């Protein structure tokens, strides 16, 4: 269908909805026979549909919004067709659901054009679950919240667009036909969400940062790396954000320990791994070391030898941990994180929060290999996402988090300070409730230390303007204070 013809069709439809033929919110407006049938069965007929005025607003704006979608991409956009039909009828809650379905399909398509191992390694580190995620077909196995956060983590979504999608997902879960509700949706909201989904997901392309990582992993697996090229490659790697380097370290050690890989692939990794290791966080290095205990636990002798070789090359043998407890704690923490970002977290999270206590050593001190993720996930769950009618947290689980945080000492506080540069941690801090709770946690931690450099950083957090904590890692005073802490 040509653009001008499509535009004429939509305008004709809009003209049919003019005041002269005003439609009410009754089902009788679209089909009198259907209305009579519903009345005969005792079902409501009035106030079922959105008013004609709101429908006209969306129909008039639809052609401009969809203009960003190339014609060859429209022929399979069935959910967008259903969106228009639902809008025209006056079922905005159904339309929002169709729009979200189209967006999820597009997001999975976008991810499928990146390195799948890197993406799955980034979002899922529980071995038993990770084994089930191998190809683009497995993207349907992960939750939509995990999908969105994963796209943000690997830089497929910017901070702003990640926030936009989180909001649309929240509205889809609380105001669409996906779940029972009695919330009203306006035409302005529907066209705004359509525009955002079209511009920032459905027509999006991978960023240069994503492409750089994809190309590197492809080269590692498929062609020899010349020693002469190593300085150029490593210099480019050091330009990546630290979270991306952390994720890259996790993936390359996974490739290295894959017994099906060729020796040439491991040689390529040997050239680059020391640079990636040194640029990564201590928390991620401890996680890699913890895999040694995992291989011991499952009697995976070949993988244990390969990981030993990897750690030897990067001079990280001291990061090994043979305590199976460490593996179990990491698995429990990651499960808690997965439950926390799921739709029903207020009902399920408390049990997983309670079980964490059983994973702690008798001393009650968190092992070095777990500390980074322990502080991150406990802090994330305590602060919450700010959504819903509560404080954005599971109020029963909160008591467990308070107990865990009460045992934070200076090593945990240092890990907490590093979180303000972590995309997973800061993604909700622009919202009011998470901002307030992050400051409450900061104030508590300030009372737990006498170290002046640490207090200086905590004071910078507390002095930051409201709802700006997600950007504080770029503030000069904060960066300067952090340098003193790291010295």
Rounded to whole angstroms, how far apart are CA atoms 385 and 85? 34
DSSP state of 199: I
Rounded to whole angstroms, how far apart are CA atoms 117 and 130? 10
pTM equals 0.77
pLDDT at 34: 87
Residues 6+ apart with CB under 8 A from 390: 346
Low-confidence residues of the chain, pLDDT below 50?
Answer: 1, 17-23
pLDDT at 2: 55
Q: Which two tokens stand for residue 381?
A: 């769950």
Rounded to whole angstroms, how far apart are CA atoms 414 and 333? 19
Q: How many CB atoms lie within 10 A of CB 416?
A: 24
pLDDT at 344: 72
Q: Which two tokens stand for residue 405?
A: 């945080």
pLDDT at 347: 73
Q: Which two tokens stand for residue 42?
A: 């005792």
pLDDT at 23: 45
What would the pLDDT profile of 237-258 be if each residue is shown by its tens digit?
Answer: 999 999 999 999 999 999 999 9
pLDDT at 292: 87
| Residue bearing tokens 């729009």 | 99
**In terms of C-beta distances under 8 Å and separation of at least 24 residues, what long-range contacts does 447-450 make, across chains too?**
448/408, 448/409, 448/410, 448/413, 449/410, 449/413
Q: Where are the domains of the chain?
A: 3-202, 208-319, 371-486
What would the pLDDT profile of 330-341 be if each residue is shown by its tens digit?
Answer: 989 999 999 988
pLDDT at 12: 55
Rounded to whole angstroms, how far apart are CA atoms 315 and 21? 77
């Amino acid at each position: 269908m040509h653009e001008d013809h499509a535009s004429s069709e939509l305008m004709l439809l809009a003209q049919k909805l003019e005041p002269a033929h005003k439609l009410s919110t009754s089902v009788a407006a679209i089909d009198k026979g259907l209305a009579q049938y519903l009345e005969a069965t005792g079902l409501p007929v009035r106030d079922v549909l959105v008013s004609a005025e709101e429908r006209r607003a969306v129909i008039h704006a639809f052609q401009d919004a969809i203009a960003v979608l190339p014609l060859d991409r429209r022929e399979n956009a069935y959910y967008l067709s259903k969106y228009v039909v639902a809008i025209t009828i006056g079922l905005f809650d159904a339309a929002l659901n169709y729009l979200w379905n189209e967006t999820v399909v597009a997001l999975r398509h976008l991810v499928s054009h990146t390195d799948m191992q890197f993406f799955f390694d980034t979002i899922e580190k529980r071995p038993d679950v990770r084994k089930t995620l191998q190809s683009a077909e497995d993207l349907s196995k992960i939750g939509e919240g995990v999908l969105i956060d994963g796209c943000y983590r690997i830089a497929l979504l910017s901070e702003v667009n990640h926030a936009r999608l989180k909001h649309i997902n929240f509205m889809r879960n609380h105001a669409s036909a996906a779940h029972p509700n009695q919330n009203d949706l306006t035409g302005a909201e529907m066209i705004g969400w359509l525009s955002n989904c079209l511009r920032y997901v459905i027509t999006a392309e991978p960023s240069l940062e994503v492409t750089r990582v994809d190309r590197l992993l492809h080269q590692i697996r498929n062609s020899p790396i010349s020693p002469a090229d190593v300085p150029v490659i490593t210099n480019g790697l050091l330009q990546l954000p630290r979270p991306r380097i952390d994720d890259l370290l996790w993936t390359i050690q996974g490739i290295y320990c894959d017994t099906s890989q060729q020796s040439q692939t491991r040689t390529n990794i040997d050239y680059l791994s020391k640079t990636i290791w040194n640029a990564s966080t201590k928390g991620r290095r401890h996680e890699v070391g913890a895999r040694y205990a995992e291989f011991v636990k499952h009697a995976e002798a070949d993988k244990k030898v390969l990981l030993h070789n990897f750690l030897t090359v990067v001079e990280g043998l001291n990061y090994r941990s043979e305590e199976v407890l460490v593996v179990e704690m990491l698995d429990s923490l990651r499960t808690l994180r997965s439950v926390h970002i799921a739709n029903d977290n207020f009902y399920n999270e408390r049990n997983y929060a309670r079980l964490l206590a059983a994973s702690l050593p008798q001393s009650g001190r968190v092992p070095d290999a777990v500390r980074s993720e322990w502080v991150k996930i406990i802090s994330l769950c305590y602060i919450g996402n700010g959504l819903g009618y509560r404080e954005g947290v599971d109020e029963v689980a909160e008591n467990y988090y308070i107990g865990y945080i009460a045992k934070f000492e200076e090593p945990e506080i240092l890990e907490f300070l590093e979180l303000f540069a972590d995309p997973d941690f800061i993604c909700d801090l622009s919202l009011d409730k998470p901002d307030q709770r992050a400051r409450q946690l900061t104030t508590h931690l300030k009372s737990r230390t006498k170290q002046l450099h640490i207090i200086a950083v905590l004071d910078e957090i507390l002095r930051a303007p409201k709802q700006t904590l997600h950007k504080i890692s770029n503030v000069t005073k904060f960066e300067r204070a952090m340098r003193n802490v790291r010295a």
